Amino acid sequence: MAQQLNHHTLPILSIGALGGTVSMRANQPGAGATPMITGEALLDGISQLHEGLDVHIETLCLVPSASLDFNLLLEVLIWAQEQVKLGVQGVVITQGTDTLEETAFFLDLLWSDDVPLVLTGAMRPSDQQGADGSANLTDASRVALDAQSRKRGVLVVMNGQIHQALHVRKSSAMALEAFNSALFGPAGLIIENRVIYLRKASARTVLPMPRSTHHKVALLLATLSADTVLLEHVLALGYDALVVSAFGAGHVSIEWVDLIDQITTEIPVLVATRTGSDSTAEASYGFIGGEMDLIDRGALMCGFLCPYKARILIWLLIGAGLGREVGKHLQRLGFKATEG
C-alpha cells in the first residue's frame, strides 16, 4: 500500500470515517437516525474536489461519538500517522459532534506531524433537509490540503469556520452553528472556497504516547447544595486524578474543601470553571472554597482549559508517566494558550 500511494503524482487526501451524524440516516420514515453510511459513500458529497486529487478513504468504525473511547482514538491516531508516512498532503477524520471537541484536543496533544489533521462532522443527518455533512467535509478537505494549515496541529472545521483544538467548544445541541471558540474566536474561515487564516500558527508541545491506558480520571461537577458522597469515594474507587468542574472562577462549597484537601495528598486535583468561557482565577477570592483556598490545599487551577479537556490532559500525562508535570502543562495550555 505504501509503495502504491507514494508513486502517485496527484495530491493525496486521506479520510477516516468514524460514524456520527454525518454518517447517519433513518432506515424508514419516522425512525431515528443511526450510523449506516460508510466513508466510501461520503465521497459522493465531495465530488467537486475529486479532479486533480487522489482520495484515500477508510471506514474505521461506525458509531455515535458518545461511544468513542481513548483506546480507539489511539488506534485512529496510529492510522493517521500511517497516512502521513504514505505521503498524503492532509488527513481528515469524520465523526459525531457530541465529543468532537474532546477528540480534537486528545489527538492534538499527540499529533507531532506538520501535515494537517482536520476533524469534521455534521449537525443534521444526511436524509434531513439542509444536511450539512457534505459541505463540512468539503471544507475540511480544503483545509487539510491547504499549505497554510501545516504546523497547526489538529483543526476542527464546521459551518465554514476553522477552530483550534485547544479552544473549540460545542455550545449548542442542535444548531448548525454549534461550534465556537469563546474569547479566542475561530482560527480561520472558508470564504468562496478559499481557506483564510486569521492568525499565524503558534508553537506547539506534543506529549509522548501513553504507555498505559488502564488508569482513571474522575470528573465531578460542583452544583448548588451538592452532596459529598461521590467525592468521599474518589480515592477508594481507585481514581488516579480528579477534575472538579467548579463554580465561577474556580470555587466549591465549604462542604467540599476538607475532602479536596485530603484527596490532593494522594492524587492530582485539577479545578476548572464550569461556565464554558473565561479563566479560573488565582488571587481574587480568599473565602473557604475559593480559588486561593483551594490552591493552598494543593489543587491546580486550569485557567482557560475547560473541565473536559483538563481530564484528557491529565489522563495522557499519567499514561506517559508525566503526571507530576501537569502544573507545567496547565500553565502552558491554560494561561498561555495564545502565546507562541
In the chain the domains, ranked by start, together with CATH numbers, are 2-197 (3.40.50.1170), 217-335 (3.40.50.40)
Burial 44-69 (b: 16+ CB within 10 A, else e): ebbeebeeeeebbbebbbbbbbeebe
Whether 273 sits among the annotated catalytic residues: the reply is no
Residue 276 has pLDDT above 90, yes or no: yes
Reduced to 3 states, what is the DSSP secondary structure of residue 154? strand
H-helix segments, the chain:
2-6, 39-42, 70-85, 100-108, 133-145, 229-232, 254-264, 291-296, 307-319, 326-330
Q: Predicted confidence band at 36 (pLDDT cuts at 50, 70, 90)?
A: confident
Strand ranges of the sheet holding 241-246, from the earlier edge strand across to the other edge: 217-221, 241-246, 269-273, 300-301
Whether 116 and 149 have beta carbons less than 8 Å apart is answered as yes
Mean pLDDT of 165-190: 96
Whether 298 and 262 have beta carbons less than 8 Å apart is answered as no
42-51, 148-157, 323-332: which has the minimum mean pLDDT? 42-51
* CA 283 to chain centroid: 29
Amino acid at 235: L
Say what the pTM is.
0.94
Amino acid at 85: K
Mean pLDDT of 237-265: 98
Whether 126 and 37 have beta carbons less than 8 Å apart is answered as yes
Q: Do β-strands 194-197 and 188-191 pair in parallel, antiparallel, or remain unpaired?
A: antiparallel
Mean pLDDT of 168-185: 96
pLDDT for the residue 214 = 96
The response to whether 97 counts as a known ligand-binding position is: yes
Mean pLDDT of 28-49: 78
The response to whether 141 counts as a known ligand-binding position is: no
Catalytic annotation, pick one of 9, 21, 205, 338: 21
The response to whether 94 counts as a known ligand-binding position is: no
Place of cell 476538607: 258
Q: At what angle do helices 307-319 and 100-108 cross, to 10 degrees?
A: 40
Residue 62 has pLDDT above 70, yes or no: yes
24-28, 93-97, 197-201, 202-206: which has the minimum mean pLDDT? 24-28
pLDDT for the residue 31 = 80
Q: Residue 159 region, left (φ>0) first, then alpha (ψ -120 to 50), else beta? A: left
pLDDT for the residue 1 = 40
